Amino acid sequence: MSNKIYLDYQATTPVDEKILKKMIPYFSEYFGNPHSNNHEFGRSANNAVDEARANVANLINAETNEIIFTSGATESNNFAIKSIAKDYFEKECQIITAKTEHKCVLESCHELEKEGFQVTYLDVDEDGIIKLSELENLLKEKKALVSIMHANNEIGVLQPIKEIGELCKKYNSIFHSDIAQSIGTQKIDVVEMNIDACSISAHKIYGPKGIGSLYISNNIKNTLRPLMSGGGQEMNLRSGTLSPALCVGLGEACKDISQNREKYTKHFEEIKSALLSDLDSSKLDYVINGNIKQRIPNNLNISIKGKVAEQMFNFMPHIALSSGSACTSGTIERSHVLSAMKLDDSRIDGSFRISAGRSTTKDEIKELIKCMGKILIN
C-alpha cells in the first residue's frame, strides 16, 4: 500500500483516527438506543447524539433544533427539495437550480417536474458559475425554491451563495444549498448567508459513511412533513433509530473543522501551488476547467489535450484519480458539468479531477506529474 497514491478525496475521505477513537465506544460500551430515555443506557447514547448535533450546528451557526441527522447529503438534498416544494410552497412556486448540480438534486427536480412543478435549470458560464442577473430575473417573476450547491463536486468551483441568499430573501424565496464539498474549507454562516436549508455528508470531511445532516431553518421546518413514516424521530421529520456512533463521527468531524479549518486550508493551498508549479514545469499540454480563483483549494480539474483520461488511468493504477463524480463514474457518459460549460467533447474526454487530502504530500504530486509525463509525452 505504501506506493499507492490517493488523490480522490472529494469522492470520499478516510475516517480520521481521532474521530474513530471517539466513535468506537458507541459500538459496544455505550450501545443503548438513543430514543430510550427511561434508562441510563439510552440516556448516555442520547447525550452523545445531542452533543454531536450541537457540534454540527455550531459549525454553521445554526440552532441545535434545526439540525436533522440523515444518511448523507443525497438524502438531505432529496428531503429538502421535495418537502419544501410540496409542503412549504404547496406547488405555488417555481424551482430553480443549475445544470451543474449533483445528480441527486437534478433527479429530485426531474421527479417534481413530473408532478407538475415548474423547474428552471440555470446555465453556467465557461467558468462553471451561474449568472446572478438571470437568477434575479426569474425571482422577480415568481417566488421560488432555489437549490444551488456551494462547491461543485467535479470542478470545485464556488457559487456566490451569499449573494444568492440575499436575492432569495429580497424576493421572499427559499434557498437550499448542498455544502458537502465546501464545508471542510469554507466558512458557512447560515444566518449571515440567508441559507434556509443545507446538506452535509460526514464522509467528505473525515467522518464515517452513512451519516449526514440537513439544516432546516425554524422559519420553515414546522411546515414540512416527513418522507418516511415511523416512530417520529428527529423532530418527527425522519423516523428510524439513529446510530450514536455515526452521529458522534459527524459531530466530531464538524468540531475538528471548527478548530482546524485554517490549518487544513493552508495545507491545501500549498499542495495546489505545488501542483500548478509542477504542471507548468512539465511539458504536459493541459488546461484548467473551472474558475481558477473561485474554487475550493483541494480541487483541480484539468484536461490533457488530445488524450482520454480513462485510458491514462490504466497506465498508472497505483494513483487514484477521478474522471467524473464518483456517483456516475460507473457509466460511460460525458460529464454533465463540463457539458453545461459548453466544453468540446475532446476536452471533456481528457478531463479528470485531482483532489488533495490532509495527508497529501508534495512528493505525491511530483510522482503524479512524473507518471503522467512518461505516459503522455512522446
As annotated, the active-site residues are: 327
| Torsion of Cα atoms, 34 then 40 then 41 then 44, to 10° | 60
> Identity (one letter) of the amino acid at 299?
N
C-alpha to C-alpha distance for 170 and 189, rounded to whole angstroms: 18
Cell of 115: 408532478
Could you tell me if 124 and 338 are in contact, meaning their C-beta atoms sit under 8 angstroms apart?
no
Q: Are strands 351-355 and 67-70 parallel, antiparallel or unpaired?
A: unpaired
CA-CA distances (angstroms) from residue 12 to 35, 202, 346?
30, 9, 28
Separation of alpha carbons 104 and 73, rounded Å: 9
3-class SS string, the chain:
CCCCEECECCCCCCCCHHHHHHHCHHHHCCCCCCCCCCCHHHHHHHHHHHHHHHHHHHHHCCCHHHEEEECCHHHHHHHHHHHHHHHHCCCCCEEEEECCCCHHHHHHHHHHHHCCCEEEEECECCCCCECHHHHHHHHHHCCEEEECCCECCCCCEECCHHHHHHHHHHCCCEEEEECCCCCCCCCCCCCCCCCCEEEEEHHHCCCCCCCEEEEECHHHHCCCCCCCCCCCHHHHCCCCCCCHHHHHHHHHHHHHHHHHHHHHHHHHHHHHHHHHHHHHHCCCCEEECCCCCCECCCEEEEEECCCCHHHHHHCCCCEECECCCCCCCCCCCCCHHHHHCCCCHHHHHCEEEEECCCCCCHHHHHHHHHHHHHHHCC
